């Protein structure tokens, strides 16, 4: 063993590798992304690593590997599990041979997600064991244990760190290479009575799962990470039940205090019932401090009823702690002070940091999506139109002055939302914007549906040749894999034509007039038509020729600022100037200026 300073996600990856990982697949999504990326980085070639087109594909791949006796890990964020939930529910019945860990990172806050959904619900819904680490060290150790439980009970298991565990850093004890487990998969052994999900088999599997989970609840009651801690006052008849990163906040708030009993729940499903009964013994009141949903609170309330325990359970359901958002050290300290009748902790006396400049989320300077949105906006001026957005950087097209995202639901949904609006309002020009990675992830089926059901809409694919929002991961359109191979690109245009979209045009949005003409022409056609706006992500190309404003020609009309909102153009000391450190020289603003005052910009028409 030796010490290393690691990010939580890196620790999880390293733990999985130490556990004898053979295959990892996933779809990028904050806060889970670095787990797969770290595995790829430390891979000695023995592990197959894949960014799949979406979470469903990733999970099915991981299942196939685990059927063959491999140890597999699948990574995603909480909303990704919705996409993977179809195979997940059936896989729970079929089970696995090799250890299989499904890592789903939850995002309380939410900091970078559409929802605050709690994966612990999916554990009880799918009836799969779930592990909930509370620190970087525990994440490293626990994922190795999760593989052991998975293999022992022939079931996939869920592993659900939250953002602060995933992105926190700590100096932790890690294994030396010689201590790593080596897992040599036996290979797939044919047995249709095991691997083919017939109704009869499912019925028997259901019986088995229910029995197994009763056993696991017992086993988890003795699991060393479901901890009951007497923190000082043995006569105290109050307790705190908690989990994950909140456990760390609780212990911090109780430090140096004559304090109550604490129950840390590391396996929210199957709930460690006997450990809970032991914790509740002799307590009058328990405060549950958890993030996202009141899972522990409901379980303890149920257990009190089942065992006729006269303990009052408080938490989110009773509004003794906030019902949404992240916990913090400070919020937990206040919750505990309220509960214990202690004086509220004084706010830390630190010098207030200087106020940050107001910086609303905005597309990067030089982002080609700005040009795409602007082209559609210009082409549709004065026409009744709706612009359905999707998940990715381009969701920021909703910001002023572009204001080009009227709806956004979940990955790939924009295509069929557009179709729905169009069916009700046939006189509306319906546009669906989707990024290239999202297109492959889940918009293809939407396109098929729209064609088959004779929608009248324009599908706009914003192809910047990367998965920009999560850190530029490859996808089928980029022509490379996570194993470093250069492969044949899957053509978005050919896919669209293949599913029956008759008109598919490709244009560089930075050639503004051409882009506007294309939108006018293509959108006027009937049926489903597509425009692929193709131009690389501004972060990946280094512009070296910033635009320049000719102050003699500039009238300070501010059209460039008011219509584009590019952070590279600023109004300073009474005049409009270009911020050289930001400008990529995309040339969009020079095509917008009515006075020809903007020159330079290497891509200008
Ligand atoms: S050329 Fe104009 S639009 Fe393009 S990045 Fe520079 S300032 Fe922004
Ligand atoms: S649009 Fe042209 S004239 Fe108007 S402020 Fe910008 S650079 Fe100056």
User: What secondary structure does DSSP assign to 523-549, as a single string?
Assistant: HTSSSEEEEEEE---TTTS---S-EEE
Closest CA to 23 of 4, 49, 2: 49
The arithmetic mean of pLDDT across residues 152-160, rounded, is: 98
- Residue pair 273/303 in contact (Cβ under 8 Å)? The answer is yes
DSSP state of 106: B
Query: Candidates 512, 560, 587: which one to mutate for ligand 2, based on the most atoms within 8 Å of Cβ?
Result: 560
Q: Name the token pair of 172.
A: 């932790």
Is residue 604 within 6 Å of ligand 1 at its C-beta? no
Instruction: Tell me, rounded to whole angstroms, the distance of Cα 475 from its chain centroid.
Output: 16
- Helix axis angle, 368-379 to 512-523, nearest 10°: 50
Q: Name the token pair of 159.
A: 């592993």
Q: How far is the CA of 599 from the centre of ligand 1 (A)?
A: 10
Is residue 571 within 6 Å of ligand 2 at its C-beta? no
Q: What are phi and psi of 485, to 5 degrees?
A: -85, 145
| Radius of gyration, CA atoms only, the chain | 27
- Residue pair 295/268 in contact (Cβ under 8 Å)? The answer is yes
Between 259 and 457, residue with greater pLDDT: 457
Q: How far is the CA of 589 from the centre of ligand 1 (A)?
A: 6
Is residue 589 within 6 Å of ligand 1 at its C-beta? yes
**pLDDT tens sequence across 382-429:** 999 999 999 999 999 999 999 999 999 999 999 999 999 999 999 999
Give nearest CA residue, ligand 2 atom 8. 554
**pLDDT tens sequence across 500-535:** 999 999 999 999 999 999 999 999 999 999 999 999
Give nearest CA residue, ligand 2 atom 3. 554
Is residue 69 within 6 Å of ligand 1 at its C-beta? no
How many Å apart are CA 86 and CA 90, to the nearest integer? 7
How many Å apart are CA 406 and CA 390, to the nearest integer? 10
Q: How far is the CA of 561 from the centre of ligand 2 (A)?
A: 8
Helix (H, G, I), strand (E, B) or coil at 58: helix
Give nearest CA residue, ligand 1 atom 7. 568
Q: How far is the CA of 465 from the centre of ligand 1 (A)?
A: 20
Q: How far is the CA of 591 from the centre of ligand 1 (A)?
A: 10
**pLDDT tens sequence across 207-227:** 999 999 999 999 999 999 999
The arithmetic mean of pLDDT across residues 281-295, rounded, is: 96
Ligand 1 nearest atom to the CA of residue 598, by list position? 2
Q: How far is the CA of 458 from the centre of ligand 1 (A)?
A: 27
- Residue pair 389/421 in contact (Cβ under 8 Å)? The answer is no
The arithmetic mean of pLDDT across residues 102-118, rounded, is: 93
Is residue 551 within 6 Å of ligand 2 at its C-beta? no
Is residue 557 within 6 Å of ligand 2 at its C-beta? yes
Give nearest CA residue, ligand 1 atom 6. 583
Q: What is the pLDDT of residue 604?
A: 44
Q: How far is the CA of 311 from the centre of ligand 2 (A)?
A: 70
Pinpoint the alpha helices (H) of 179-198: 192-195
pLDDT at residue 603 is higher than 50: no
Ligand 1 nearest atom to the CA of residue 566, by list position? 8
Is residue 565 within 6 Å of ligand 1 at its C-beta? no
Q: What is the pLDDT of residue 574?
A: 87
Please state whether the predicted TM-score (pTM) of the whole model is above 0.85: yes
Helix (H, G, I), strand (E, B) or coil at 569: strand
Ligand 2 nearest atom to the CA of residue 558, by list position? 5
pLDDT at residue 601 is higher than 70: no
Q: How far is the CA of 582 from the centre of ligand 1 (A)?
A: 8
In sequence order, the 6+-apart residues with CB closer than 8 A to the CB of 584 are 365, 366, 538, 541, 542, 543, 546, 568
User: What secondary structure does DSSP assign to 297-316, as a single string?
Assistant: HHHHHHHHHHTT---EEEST
Q: How far is the CA of 583 from the centre of ligand 1 (A)?
A: 5
Of the listed ligands, the closest to the CA of 560 is: 2
In sequence order, the 6+-apart residues with CB closer than 8 A to the CB of 312 are 284, 285, 286
For residue 72, give Cα distances in angstroms to 49, 434, 558: 10, 31, 55
Ligand 2 nearest atom to the CA of residue 559, by list position? 1
Ligand 1 nearest atom to the CA of residue 547, by list position? 1
**pLDDT tens sequence across 172-207:** 999 999 999 999 999 999 888 889 888 888 999 999
How many Å apart are CA 292 and CA 323, to the nearest integer? 7
**pLDDT tens sequence across 236-245:** 899 999 999 9
Ligand 1 nearest atom to the CA of residue 585, by list position? 1
Of the listed ligands, the closest to the CA of 571 is: 2
Ligand 1 nearest atom to the CA of residue 579, by list position? 7
Is residue 368 within 6 Å of ligand 1 at its C-beta? no
Closest CA to 66 of 183, 179, 181: 183
For residue 122, give Cα distances in angstroms to 77, 118, 543: 13, 8, 46
Provide, rounded to the nearest whole percent, the portion of the chain with pLDDT above 70: 98
**pLDDT tens sequence across 544-582:** 689 999 999 999 999 999 999 999 999 988 899 999 999
Provide the strand spans (E) within 146-218. Answer: 157-159, 169-174
Is residue 46 within 6 Å of ligand 2 at its C-beta? no
Is residue 575 within 6 Å of ligand 2 at its C-beta? no
Q: Which residue has the tokens 């492959």?
A: 440
The arithmetic mean of pLDDT across residues 438-455, rounded, is: 95
Residues in the chain: 605
How many Å apart are CA 218 and CA 222, to the nearest integer? 7
Is residue 566 within 6 Å of ligand 2 at its C-beta? no
Is residue 250 within 6 Å of ligand 2 at its C-beta? no
**pLDDT tens sequence across 309-368:** 999 999 999 999 999 999 999 999 999 999 999 988 876 656 777 888 777 788 999 999
Confidence of residue 605 (pLDDT cuts 50, 70, 90): very low
Is residue 547 within 6 Å of ligand 2 at its C-beta? no
């Amino acid at each position: 063993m030796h010490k290393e300073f690691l990010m939580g996600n890196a620790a999880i990856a390293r733990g999985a590798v130490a556990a004898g990982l053979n295959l990892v697949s996933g779809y990028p999504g904050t806060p889970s992304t670095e787990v797969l990326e770290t595995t790829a980085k430390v891979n000695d070639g023995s592990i197959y690593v894949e960014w799949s087109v979406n979470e469903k594909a990733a999970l099915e791949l991981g299942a196939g590997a685990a059927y063959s006796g491999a140890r597999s890990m699948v990574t995603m964020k909480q909303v990704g599990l919705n996409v993977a939930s179809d195979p997940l529910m059936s896989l729970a019945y079929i089970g696995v041979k090799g250890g299989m860990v499904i890592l789903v990172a939850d995002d309380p806050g939410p900091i970078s997600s559409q929802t605050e959904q709690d994966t612990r619900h999916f554990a009880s819904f799918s009836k799969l064991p779930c592990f909930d680490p509370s620190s970087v060290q525990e994440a490293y150790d626990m994922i190795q244990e999760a593989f052991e439980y998975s293999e022992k009970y022939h079931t996939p298991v869920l592993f659900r760190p939250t953002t602060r565990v995933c992105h926190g850093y700590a100096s932790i004890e890690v294994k030396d290479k010689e201590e790593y487990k080596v897992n040599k998969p036996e290979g797939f052994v044919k047995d249709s009575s095991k691997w083919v999900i017939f109704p009869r088999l499912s019925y028997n599997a259901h019986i088995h799962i229910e029995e197994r989970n009763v056993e696991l609840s017992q086993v988890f009651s003795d699991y060393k990470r479901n901890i009951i801690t007497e923190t000082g006052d043995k006569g105290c008849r109050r307790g705190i039940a908690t989990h994950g990163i909140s456990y760390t906040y609780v212990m911090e708030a109780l430090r140096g205090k004559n304090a109550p009993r604490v129950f840390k729940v590391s396996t929210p499903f199957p709930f460690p019932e006997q450990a809970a009964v032991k914790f509740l013994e002799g307590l009058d009141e328990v405060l549950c401090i958890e993030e996202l949903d009141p899972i522990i609170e409901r379980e303890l309330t149920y257990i009190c009823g089942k065992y006729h325990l006269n303990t009052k359970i408080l938490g989110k359901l009773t509004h003794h702690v906030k019902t949404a958002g992240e916990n913090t050290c400070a919020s937990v300290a206040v919750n505990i002070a309220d509960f214990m009748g202690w004086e509220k902790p004084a706010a830390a006396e630190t010098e207030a940091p200087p106020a940050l400049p107001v910086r609303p989320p905005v597309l990067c300077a030089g982002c080609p999506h700005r040009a795409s949105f602007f082209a559609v906006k210009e082409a549709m001026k004065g026409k009744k139109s709706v612009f359905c957005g999707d998940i990715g950087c381009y969701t920021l097209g909703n910001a002023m002055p572009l204001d080009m995202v009227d709806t956004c639901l979940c990955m790939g949904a924009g295509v069929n939302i557009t179709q729905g609006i169009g069916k009700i309002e046939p006189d509306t020009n319906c546009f669906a914007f989707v990024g290239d990675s999202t297109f492959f992830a889940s918009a293809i089926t939407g396109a098929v549906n729209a064609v088959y059901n004779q929608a009248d809409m324009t599908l706009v694919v914003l192809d910047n040749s990367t998965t920009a929002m999560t850190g530029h991961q490859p996808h089928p359109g980029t022509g490379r894999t996570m194993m470093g191979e250069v492969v044949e690109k899957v053509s978005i245009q050919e896919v669209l034509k293949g599913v029956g979209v008759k008109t598919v045009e490709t244009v560089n949005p930075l050639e503004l007039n051409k882009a506007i003409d294309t939108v006018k022409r293509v959108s006027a056609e009937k049926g489903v038509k597509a425009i692929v706006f193709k131009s690389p992500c501004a972060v990946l190309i280094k512009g070296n020729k910033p635009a320049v404003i000719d102050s003699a020609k500039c009238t300070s009309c501010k059209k460039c600022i008011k219509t584009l909102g590019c952070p590279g153009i600023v109004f300073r000391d009474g005049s409009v100037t270009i911020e050289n450190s930001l400008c990529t020289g995309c040339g969009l603003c020079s095509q917008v200026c009515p006075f020809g005052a903007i020159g330079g910009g290497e891509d200008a028409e």
